[in-house]
Amino acid sequence: MPEIVDVAIVGFGPVGAALANLLGQAGLSVAVFEREAAIYPLPRAIHFDGEVMRVFHAMGLRDAVESVSRPGDKPMRFVNASGRTLLVRGGTSLDGPHGCANNHYFHQPELEAMLREGVKRFPAVRVHRRHEVRAIEPRGDAVRVTVDNLADQCQVELDARYVVGCDGARSLVRRTMGSPMEDLGLHQPWLVFDALLKRDASLPDHTVQYCNPSRPATYCNVIGNRRRWEIMLMPGDDEAAIAKPESVWQLVSRWISPADADIERAVVYTFHSVIARGWRAGRLLLAGDSAHQTPPFLGQGLCAGIRDAANLAWKLALVLRGAADDRLLDTYESERSPHVREFIALAVRLGEVIQTTDPAVAAERDRKFDAGAPEIFEFPAPGLGPGVHTGGGTPVGQPFPQPMLADGRRLDAAVGDGFALIATRACLAAVDGATDARLAAAGVTRLDDTHPALAAWLADHDSAAVLIRPDRYIAGRAADGAGVAALAALLPQRGTPAHTHGAASA
């Protein structure tokens, strides 16, 4: 009989590695299959946000990740053809709501190395490089995974209780599931040029979106001596020719020359906006680019995949431990799909600002920004779709902030990796016996308002209690001890379907 594991992960990019860390931390047995022998050595993703750093912190990898990243301490500016700033995305190195800077820049191979090193902490997580998954066959209470060992030229089989496809845009897992991709309307080729500076070239210390109708472009100050340009292809451009060094240097000649920098990579990508319909089919699930792809104008592609991993990991852990019915996994897509769709929609809207090539349309766009000072926008904070929360709008279904507590710990260190109830002392004292027993049985950590930061949050949100999920999202609020019983009803358990928002009220 083939070996059986709790979860098989197909793909060991940053999303697969993040999920492997979270599942390993939960004590699950995991097999990871990756076709390539080593990390792809060239730059790809370059940005993640504060919520993602918080996930890395939850894995115990914050220090390691901080060693290979930098805070995005300067705003991103959208400028028109004359150099006038139209729009500003806020940026600061100060701690934001997640207990860290809101934006971070990095070199993907270094980040992947940190995540892969983290996986080594968990003996029950085994990584199989040079192994290509050939077939996936659901078989009742497990999935048979057939894998080619490319190093030994042999074939092996393994059974997994669940399989997660972190295998990118051409996902085998998604094809096996038969999940179609919904087209959200943007498909535009861009040249992506990564350079290594050899000397000071007097470049901006912040990201600039050049909203120039003659040739839209983006410049990014990444990390260290790494800089990136993304340059939109125009009608008549030859995709093969434009990525050649002589063409690249001509396109970036206003900024740098070969005397200033070396080319690390120049390649044409088509920016897509698509989302899968069907992230779960029985024991098969999707995460990351296999489930959605977004244009890079918000820097949210990697972020969306790490959020997938954080949402899915705690649900798989509860189901595989027998603490929750597997219908809990249906809330993965119902929560995450609307959330990522909002980010994609905003990226597409920003793309419309940046990618305008009609001079008349660009002039009208510029006039709309002429009303006053440049508009400043922060990252959106969309709520989760229907799932394990009461709904009811902000802040339910959004992340709870991570303040420093009175004892010097960050909130996440105090609450651990399970559910947490934060409440006033009076509210906790009024919780009835049955509710108290249910909270205890579910291992819910309780914190009270002796911590000034928590007392302030409760007061600001007119609440006596708030239930926080393992992924730090708010499940619901209560006005008194009786309301805590409704919050306790949200806790997943065997034999009951997962709650959707509106299933309980506080």
- Beta pairing, strands 208-211 & 76-80: parallel
Q: What is the pLDDT of residues 420-459, one digit of tens each?
A: 999 999 999 999 999 999 999 999 999 999 999 999 999 9
Residue 381: what pLDDT? 80
Could you tell me which of 391, 442, 390 has the C-alpha nearest to residue 421?
442
CATH number at residue 494: 3.40.30.120
Domain tally, the chain: 2
Q: Residues 247-266: what's their mean pLDDT?
A: 97
Per the domain annotation, does 438 fall within a domain? yes
Q: What is the pLDDT of residues 202-225, one digit of tens each?
A: 999 999 999 999 999 999 999 999
Q: What is the pLDDT of residues 289-304, one digit of tens each?
A: 999 999 988 889 999 9
- Specify the higher pLDDT residue, 298 or 242: 242
SS3 content of the chain, % helix, strand, coil (to 5): 30, 30, 40
* Together in a domain, 157 and 26: yes
Could you tell me which of 26, 22, 25 has the C-alpha nearest to residue 321?
26
Structure-token pair, residue 129: 């490089």
Residue 367: what pLDDT? 87
Mean pLDDT of the chain: 93
Per the domain annotation, does 364 fall within a domain? no
Residue 502: what pLDDT? 40
* Together in a domain, 328 and 470: no
Residue 73: what pLDDT? 87
Per the domain annotation, does 351 fall within a domain? no
Task: Decide: 418 and 470 in contact? Cβ < 8 Å.
Answer: yes
Per the domain annotation, does 114 fall within a domain? yes
Per the domain annotation, does 10 fall within a domain? yes
Q: What is the pLDDT of residues 17-46, one digit of tens each?
A: 999 999 999 999 999 999 999 999 999 999
* Together in a domain, 436 and 499: yes
Residue 182: what pLDDT? 96
- What percent of the chain has a predicted confidence (pLDDT) above 90? 85
pLDDT band at 496 (very low <50, low <70, confident <90, very high): low
45 residue type, one letter: A
* Together in a domain, 319 and 452: no
Residue 500: what pLDDT? 52
Q: What angle do CA 229, 295, 211 make, to 5 degrees?
A: 50
**Residue that the structure tokens 């996902």 belong to:** 171
Could you tell me which of 245, 250, 199 has the C-alpha nearest to residue 225?
199
* Together in a domain, 423 and 490: yes
pLDDT band at 71 (very low <50, low <70, confident <90, very high): very high
Q: Residues 479-484: what's their mean pLDDT?
A: 95
The residue segments making up the domain with residue 112 are 3-69+105-182+273-338
Q: How far apart are alpha carbons 252 and 248 in whole angstroms? A: 6
Structure-token pair, residue 240: 């093969």
The answer, yes or no, to whether residue 283 has pLDDT greater than 60, is yes
Per the domain annotation, does 136 fall within a domain? yes
Q: Residues 344-364: what's their mean pLDDT?
A: 91
- What percent of the chain has a predicted confidence (pLDDT) above 70? 96
pLDDT band at 494 (very low <50, low <70, confident <90, very high): confident
pLDDT band at 105 (very low <50, low <70, confident <90, very high): very high
The answer, yes or no, to whether residue 155 has pLDDT greater than 50, is yes
Q: Helices 50-58 & 301-320, crossing angle to 10 degrees?
A: 40
Q: Residues 229-248: what's their mean pLDDT?
A: 96
* Together in a domain, 425 and 497: yes
Per the domain annotation, does 410 fall within a domain? yes
Residue 505: what pLDDT? 28
The answer, yes or no, to whether residue 90 has pLDDT greater than 80, is no
Q: What is the pLDDT of residues 183-207, one digit of tens each?
A: 998 889 999 999 999 999 999 999 9
Residue 503: what pLDDT? 34
Query: Of the ranges 54-58, 276-280, 298-302, 491-495, which one carries the lowest mean pLDDT score?
Result: 491-495
Q: How far apart are alpha carbons 25 and 349 in whole angstroms? A: 38
Q: Residues 299-326: what's their mean pLDDT?
A: 96
Q: How far apart are alpha carbons 484 and 432 in whole angstroms? A: 9
CATH number at residue 322: 3.50.50.60
Handedness of CA 290, 115, 37, 301 (dihedral sign): positive
Task: Decide: 231 and 191 in contact? Cβ < 8 Å.
Answer: yes
DSSP 61-91: -HHHHHTTEEE--S-EEEEETTS-EEEEE--
Task: Decide: 172 and 143 in contact? Cβ < 8 Å.
Answer: no
